[in-house]
Structure 1
Amino acid sequence: MKMKNVAVACALMAGMTLTASSAFAAKNVEPTNGKIQFTGSLVNSACGLAPESSPVQVNFGEIPTSQLKDNQRAGVKHAKIVLQGCDTTVAKTATVTYTPATIDTDNNALAAFTSGTAKGAGIGMVDSGNQDVEWGKAASQVNITDGETDIDFVAYLQANNASAAVTPGDFESTVNFQIDYQ
């Protein structure tokens, strides 16, 4: 008799579970829709730019103006241009030419701030060979490796005039680059 009661109880539980499941399944739930966007470029070159290198993002964060006294370099950030799919049968080395959107009028070794309220400073760069970048001229030569090649650089902030005050505020600047292969 007990076994019969257990069987009946199990049957009732199964029926309630199916009824509950049916109630949940009967809800009218909207689907989630989205889109996948594919972009890129096919290039006839020794290497292509990796997605994280177009553009390269360098965020200086907040740099106290006091760090820019006496023509000091401040906020030094190490960054890199990443090349992908490199083929050393096409080229063995590369040089990068950096060109700012605007060169600072008080110190032509610096890229000018192109927007924001900060004034009296600019951005300089050091290339992968530890040489100061000269705008519009090829930087130190870099060896290419098959597959991925990193081109390291350092960016820094510097007062554009040792005698002028630096005005605090936000800033943005752009430096374009061209990679030539040898």
Structure 2
Amino acid sequence: MAGITVSELNRCLQACGFDALGDSLASTITGKINGSIGSRNEAAMFIAQLFHESNGFKYREERSRGAGQPYPPYYGRGYIQLTWDYNYRAASKYLYGNESVLLNDPDRVSRTPEVSMDVSTWFWKTIVRPKAAPFDNFYRTTGAINGALEPPGSELARRRYNLYCKVAQVLDAYPLAREC
């Protein structure tokens, strides 16, 4: 268990230029992280990716609502911005035992912080972790989330890595993974 505290999460947010969260929301987020993530380094990677995708837990839904993309109504929702019908189907099957729950109500993913984190941790454990372990190369996490749009060395991929470095420093999560 990563053992991330509310105070640490808020210090990570502030180190990355985001506002601290209230205790209730921060407790929900840290509880989901601690229940799903094994090491502090993996937690630093997960938190950095959540910061990037949600703008510091500010958004639980893609601001453009998928405009101009081929995936609406299954556009980015949750703190990790789950997209595509097949991801909604798989997350729904895992979380609810029924693949139709999120397919029939995709807004459910962004309705509450709890479901946003449940979907985000599911995506991390199911999609990201198998591609990124042993967590020595940060880009593997970015590639699993948004690789087609953010190739190694791109400005957005570097932004994600810089967030990770700041989070890892606060969490004392060393050694740092290389960028790519």
| TM-score above 0.5, yes or no | no
TM-score for both structures, normalised by structure 2: 0.23
- Greater share of strand: 1
**Over alpha carbons, which structure has the higher Rg?**
1
- Greater share of helix: 2
TM-score for both structures, normalised by structure 1: 0.23
